[in-house]
Amino acid sequence: MVKRFGLLPVSILKLSRGKLSKEMHCFQTERPERGRMRLHEAVTEEGKTSFNLRKKAGLMGGVVAKTAKRKSHDIEKKLGNDNRCRASADRLQASTMPAELVEFFIKYYARPGDTYVDPFMGQGVQMQVAHRLGLHYYGYDVSAEFFEYIKAVRDRIDNGTTTLSVTLGDSRFPTEVPDRVGDFSFHSPPYWDIEYYGDEPAQLGTGQTYADFLVGMEDVARAWLPKHKPGAYHVVNTNDFRRDKRFYPYHSDIIALYQRAGWYMHDIWVIDGLVGGLPRVFAVQKNKSKVAPKVHEYAMVFRAPA
């Protein structure tokens, strides 16, 4: 097991970004001029803190202003938990999937020659890792900007050894993916309107309440079930979050909606070590507010009915 994975897998999975992540083609690095990142109205508490510090620094003078700017700079510096892709504190963008996480779950639940189906391609890391490990790949995403980049990466890496099919479209209607083709899936779904993915009306979180967003997520879960072979594994990587001081147990909501959509719950992993530095940067502040600094994520494992 250690030879295969580099560690002995246990339910609390400790991974870190490394060489593989550095070797990925990365949207934020290669297309910085096209990364339409902006201050989103759903800005996180940490991002808002940094933004407010810099805003106040512009209204202050002398040593006070320099101190505020330096503190803001330190916060932003610690925000960059990705080796190649860094998010500014006042620019909420879609986070970049750690390649090592994709690699682990492919190796654990799939094998070369299998077909990977992906309802949320994101920035194309899943496609790249799947290709490296000899899997065929069918992916969907509604973001025109990300799709343009993913297609360019696909054309760059496609050597004919595996199928690399990518589609710009609403993941609730994956008509371009054949039924019963998928052996495996691993993805991170959208985070309501917490992250900015694009201006497309079909974005699941755009202008939606959280409850309506979950209805859209259930539609996706239901639509992709027939795309999997009987017994196929489908892994969903999520975290819980806060918005306007309210806690949203996203991972448990995902479990409930997938089961309603017809999936069987198979297992759950706790991922430790890949969440960025923000929880530690603000650990004192969060603990004073009686909020646990979150340093883990979840990977829920579902199976298609046999």
Q: Is a pLDDT exceeding 80 seen at residue 217?
A: yes
* Residue with more model confidence, 78 or 179: 179
* Residue with more model confidence, 261 or 52: 261
Query: Under a CB-based contact definition with an 8 Å cutoff, are residues 130 and 116 in contact?
Result: yes
When mean pLDDT is compared across 73-77, 155-159, 284-288, the lowest value belongs to: 73-77
Structural domains in the chain plus CATH codes: 2-33+94-303 (3.40.50.150)
* pLDDT score at 279: 66
Query: Under a CB-based contact definition with an 8 Å cutoff, are residues 7 and 14 in contact?
Result: yes
Beta strand segments in the chain, E: 12-14, 115-118, 136-141, 164-168, 182-187, 228-238, 241-243, 246-248, 264-272, 296-303
Confidence of residue 245 (pLDDT cuts 50, 70, 90): confident
Q: Is a pLDDT exceeding 50 seen at residue 99?
A: yes
* pLDDT score at 273: 79
Query: Under a CB-based contact definition with an 8 Å cutoff, are residues 202 and 144 in contact?
Result: no
Segment 72-83, tens digit of pLDDT: 444 334 433 333
Sign, CA dihedral 24-29-32-36, equals positive
In terms of DSSP bridges, do strands 228-238 and 296-303 run parallel, antiparallel, or are they unpaired?
antiparallel
d(CA 164, CA 156): 11
d(CA 237, CA 270): 10
| Separation of first and last alpha carbons in the chain | 27
Q: Is a pLDDT exceeding 80 seen at residue 199?
A: yes
Confidence of residue 299 (pLDDT cuts 50, 70, 90): very high
**Token pair of 30, please?**
């290669």
* pLDDT score at 265: 98
* pLDDT score at 298: 97
In terms of DSSP bridges, do strands 296-303 and 264-272 run parallel, antiparallel, or are they unpaired?
antiparallel
Helix, strand, coil fractions of the chain, as percent rounded to 5: 40, 20, 40
**Token pair of 90, please?**
């006042």
* pTM > 0.85: yes or no: no
Paired residues of 137 in beta bridges: 116, 164
Which among 226, 214, 216, 187 has a CA at the least distance from the CA of 304? Answer: 226
Element (H, E) at 100: helix 99-109
Q: Is a pLDDT exceeding 80 seen at residue 227?
A: yes
Segment 1-39, tens digit of pLDDT: 999 898 999 999 999 889 999 999 987 666 644 443 332
Give 38-55 as a DSSP string.
Answer: B--TT--HHHHHHHHHHH
* pLDDT score at 57: 38
| Average pLDDT of the segment spanning 92-97 | 65
Mean pLDDT over each residue of the chain, to the nearest integer: 82
d(CA 183, CA 112): 11
Query: Between the ranges 59-63, 126-130, 276-280, where is the mean pLDDT highest?
Result: 126-130
Q: Is 145 helix (H, G, I), strand (E, B) or coil?
A: helix
Confidence of residue 256 (pLDDT cuts 50, 70, 90): very high
